[in-house]
Each structure stands twice: as structure tokens, then as C-alpha cells.
């Protein structure tokens, strides 16, 4: 099993440009918005982890999610379900070299998984 470090957290909502502006001004973060859809990503050297700020695909209110890096996303998803959790978003690749998924614990708290 990997050291399971939190490497990314994401803030998504209805108005990604307003969220990006808010957090950039609040914390002094410089965001690279060249990703598809204008998704903004911080430099982890400046923020400690990668911070991603974007919009929700369905226009919903949004959420904040932490992502934990794992060696085997399929095994971790199966372990989460075996421990009483559920898969909220099956694994998929948002871009080259990355795979992500979302799981909920038995109380419904959502945590992201990423396999690089």
C-alpha cells in the first residue's frame, strides 16, 4: 500500500471564474487556467498540494474534495466498498497520466482517489 498522501484538493461550484478570483485574492494563489474548460490549477510548490478550482458539470452548488494518491485505484475502490463505503464516481481519466474516482465513507463523506 502506498503512503496515501493527500496531493490534490478541488473546489468546484457554479461560477469557476468567481471562485478562482476569490481564492486567488484570498490566499495569493496564482492559478494556471490553461487546462480544458478553464479549470485552474495551482503550483504545489506554492500551495503545498495541487489546488484545482473549476465548475460543476451540472451547474450544482459544488463541493470541496480532497484527493489521496493510491497505488491501485481498483483495489482501493474494492476495499472501500468492502468496508461499507460506496463508489460515488467510477474511475476515469481526466487527462494524460491520471486516473481519478470518488468514494463515500459509510456516513456519506466523499474522498477522491487518484492514481498517477
Domain count, the chain: 2
- What is the arithmetic mean of pLDDT over 24-53? 91
Position 63 scores a pLDDT of: 87
The verdict on 4 and 53 lying in the same domain is yes
pLDDT(103) > 80: yes
| Grid-cell match 490553461, residue found | 34
- What is the arithmetic mean of pLDDT over 93-113? 91
Please say which residue of 26, 42, 63 terminates a domain: 63
Above pLDDT 90, what percent of the chain? 66
The verdict on 93 and 55 lying in the same domain is no
The verdict on 46 and 82 lying in the same domain is no
Evaluate the CA torsion angle 55, 114, 35, 17 in order and state its sign: positive
Whole-Å CA distances, 50 to 30, 32, 77, 86: 12, 11, 22, 25
Domain that holds residue 23: 1-63
The verdict on 3 and 42 lying in the same domain is yes
Whole-Å CA distances, 54 to 5, 37, 47, 91, 111: 22, 8, 17, 19, 17
The verdict on 51 and 13 lying in the same domain is yes
Position 52 scores a pLDDT of: 94
Amino acid at each position: 500500500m502506498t503512503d496515501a498522501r493527500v496531493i490534490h484538493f478541488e473546489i468546484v461550484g457554479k461560477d469557476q471564474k468567481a471562485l478562482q478570483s476569490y481564492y486567488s485574492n484570498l490566499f495569493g494563489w496564482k492559478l494556471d487556467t490553461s487546462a480544458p474548460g478553464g479549470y485552474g490549477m495551482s503550483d504545489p510548490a506554492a500551495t503545498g498540494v495541487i489546488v484545482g478550482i473549476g465548475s460543476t458539470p451540472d451547474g450544482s452548488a459544488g463541493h470541496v474534495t480532497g484527493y489521496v494518491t493510491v497505488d491501485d485505484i481498483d483495489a482501493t475502490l474494492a476495499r472501500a466498498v468492502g468496508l461499507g463505503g460506496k463508489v460515488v464516481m467510477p474511475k476515469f481519466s481526466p487527462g494524460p497520466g491520471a486516473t481519478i474516482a470518488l468514494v463515500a465513507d459509510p456516513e456519506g463523506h466523499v474522498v477522491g482517489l487518484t492514481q498517477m
